[in-house]
Amino acid sequence: MLTVALTGGIGSGKTQVSDYFASLGVPVIDTDIISRQLVEPGQPALEKITESFGHQLLFASGQLDRAALREIIFNDATARKKLEDILHPAIREKVQHQLQALSFPYVIIVIPLYVETGQFLKTDRILVVDCPQEIQKKRVLARDNVSMEQLGKILEAQVTREQRLAVADDIIVNDADIETLQHKVRQLHEQYLHTSLIK
């Protein structure tokens, strides 16, 4: 099965793209969803996180205070690496498990910080969803409850647009309307179906 990593900066439109692939019948594995499942109460990864970063990261309900953890790792590269060392092997294992259950010519694996995390999960192709930074900022400020300062920190923690595009096998520029975006996805869908036949 052809494996395609889907990545892109915050606000680039990764979810719109992956949702449209899914509507075409393509299996989509989202590593963000997997990582959220891994930090549910009772999960081994959550225990490792609280051992490493402290029990103050848990709400009274036992749920992880994701905002507090985000604050720690945004300001400390060593802490970010420590968290990745806990989560990445577990994410890889879950992805492999899900892949074994699929029987489609290709699969989209959504990995938002694929370039930032050293491409921790190897795939056949890398699809980057791209847009100009001004559009990115506008979308995030409209969608998320973040300040300009917080947005600046998020963007600083992500690789530059140029670095992301440098590793791309395929690029979808998402700077127009939804119909244009869907047309680009359909074109890639046909391309991936064809590629999977000759893989």
Burial category of 183 from C-beta neighbours within 10 Å (exposed 0-12, middle 13-18, buried 19 and up):
exposed
Identify the pLDDT of residue 129.
Answer: 97
- pLDDT averaged over the chain? 91
Which of 101, 127, 158 is the C-terminal boundary of a domain? 101
Do residues 81 and 148 share a domain? no
Pairwise CA distance, residues 18 & 123, whole Å: 16
Identify the pLDDT of residue 187.
Answer: 97
Are the C-beta atoms of 123 and 4 separated by less than 8 Å? Answer: yes
Burial category of 17 from C-beta neighbours within 10 Å (exposed 0-12, middle 13-18, buried 19 and up):
buried
User: Quick one: how far is CA 142 from the chain centroid?
Assistant: 20
Identify the pLDDT of residue 155.
Answer: 80
All residue ranges of the chain with pLDDT < 50 are none
Are the C-beta atoms of 64 and 52 separated by less than 8 Å? Answer: no
Which of 53, 84, 101 is the C-terminal boundary of a domain? 101
Identify the pLDDT of residue 199.
Answer: 66
pTM of the model: 0.90
Which of 86, 101, 116 is the C-terminal boundary of a domain? 101
Residue ranges of E strands in 94-178: 106-110, 125-130, 170-173
Do residues 161 and 133 share a domain? yes
Do residues 86 and 181 share a domain? no
Do residues 125 and 51 share a domain? no
Identify the pLDDT of residue 71.
Answer: 83
- Residue span of the structural domain in which 147 resides: 1-27+104-199
For 95-113, b/e burial (b = at least 16 CB within 10 A) is beeeeeeeeebbbbbbbbb
In the structure encoding, which two tokens stand for residue 76, read together? 């400390």
Identify the pLDDT of residue 197.
Answer: 86
Identify the pLDDT of residue 170.
Answer: 97
Do residues 21 and 44 share a domain? no
Do residues 116 and 197 share a domain? yes
Are the C-beta atoms of 168 and 7 separated by less than 8 Å? Answer: no
Residue 31: count other Cβ atoms within 10 Å of its Cβ. 26
Domains in the chain: how many in total?
Answer: 2
Identify the pLDDT of residue 116.
Answer: 84
Provide the CATH number for the domain around residue 127. Answer: 3.40.50.300
In the structure encoding, which two tokens stand for residue 27, read together? 């299996």
